Amino acid sequence: MTPSDYSADHPPRSLLYVPGSNARALEKASGLAADMLIIDLEDAVPADRKIEAREAMRRAVEAGYPGKRVAVRVNATGAYEQEADIAALYGLALDAVVLPKVDAPSDLDPLRGMGLPVFAMIETPAAIYAARDIAVDPAVTGLIAGLNDLAHELRLPDGMDRGAMSHAIQAIVLAARAGGIWCFDGVYNAIDDAAGFAAEAAEGRRLGFDGKTLIHPSQVDPCNVAFAPSEREIAAAEALVAAATGGAQRHDGRMIEDMHVAAAKALLERAGRG
């Protein structure tokens, strides 16, 4: 399934950060299979290249990325650069704004009135406790797990230890589902560890995330595979829907009911088989 086939009604599987100050990366991104590009004006951009990054971002978005959804990550609320970042977004056809370090709904205030969906990054202990309130804010359509910053804030000796953050990770998913919005897993830092990435992406889907944020083009294709229904899942869903007669019944050695049918139909719709 190509990005252009992946309906905007469904959450993106692969969300690739592209540094706004990297002209080559902005150009190459058009040929990648990422469902969403997040042009980054925050962490990926050195302090002395912020103006350059904003200008490059505008040129790239105006030139367009056919078949892809495009978002921009601005600097956090309270940061010196945020006002200029937001001003640079006006008039652009964007699918979302990514706001880092959202600790409370009030952090969303600078983006209100822009008419753009916000993906709020949950990156601190305070944000974990406020995630439910953030998720139900009308401005927010998705949560992003900012696990690098969260690991730092938690003072974890091994930032790659997701097990040590399991409660926080599940809290993000729970908040998103309670608020009826999307949620996306954090980045995988070891860009040369393909097996490790595949395992973490598969785990993210099992935990309930809709997709995953990425930091390298090599992660796009395996991410799309991890978050797309497999042929085995599709076949099982088709069989379940075909066998369903309404209410509780036995199917393939287990009991199913209406919610299982609804889940199977949703999987088929996402796979383009609905």
| Beta strand segments in the chain, E | 14-19, 36-40, 69-73, 96-99, 118-122, 140-145, 182-185, 211-214, 249-251, 254-256
> Whole-angstrom Cα distance, residue 35 to residue 10?
10
Position 188 scores a pLDDT of 96
Residue 73's beta-bridge partner residues? Answer: 40, 98
Letter string b/e over residues 16-42, b meaning 16 or more CB atoms within 10 A of that residue's CB: bbbbbbbeebbeebeebbbbbbbbbbb
> Whole-angstrom Cα distance, residue 181 to residue 73?
19
CATH architecture of residue range(s) 3-226:
Alpha-Beta Barrel (3.20)
pLDDT tens digits in sequence order for the chain, 274 residues long: 233 333 457 899 999 999 999 999 999 999 999 999 999 999 989 999 999 999 999 999 999 999 899 999 999 999 999 999 999 999 999 999 999 999 999 999 999 989 999 999 999 999 999 999 999 999 999 999 999 999 999 999 987 789 999 999 999 999 999 999 999 999 999 999 999 999 999 999 999 999 999 999 999 999 999 997 655 665 555 555 566 667 766 656 776 677 655 665 665 566 665 5
Position 5 scores a pLDDT of 37
Position 39 scores a pLDDT of 97
Tokens at 228, concatenated: 């797309």
Position 160 scores a pLDDT of 78
Domain ranges of the chain: 3-226, 231-270
Tokens at 223, concatenated: 């991410």
Position 274 scores a pLDDT of 54
Position 48 scores a pLDDT of 93
Q: Are 223 and 201 in contact (CB under 8 A)?
A: yes
